[in-house]
Amino acid sequence: MDELVAFIVTHLVEHPEAARVERVADAKGSTLTISVAPGDVGQVIGRQGRVIKAIRTLVHHADPRAHHRVQVRA
């Protein structure tokens, strides 16, 4: 799952070397945290949040039994 999100994010941003995806597991499932350069946050979020919503949808449908949350950090 991490590789899928990393692939998508690195192809969206202008500084792919600064993009990282980290997974943190807890009792409710796991959280995928996307870290990008400050200037690339808008590229990952998209207009009205459409891009990050699409990423969340892909994560959910790639493994519907797992519970993943997706966060974006600059």
Q: Residue 5 is encoded by which pair of tokens?
A: 């999100």
What kind of architecture, by CATH, is found in domain 2-73?
Answer: 2-Layer Sandwich (3.30)
Encode the chain (74 residues) as per-residue pLDDT tens digits. Answer: 889 999 999 999 999 999 999 998 888 788 899 999 999 999 999 999 999 999 999 988 888 888 888 877 65
User: In the prediction, which pLDDT does 46 show?
Assistant: 95
User: In the prediction, which pLDDT does 64 show?
Assistant: 81
User: In the prediction, which pLDDT does 65 show?
Assistant: 81
The answer to whether the CB of 18 falls within 8 A of the CB of 10 is no
User: In the prediction, which pLDDT does 69 show?
Assistant: 82
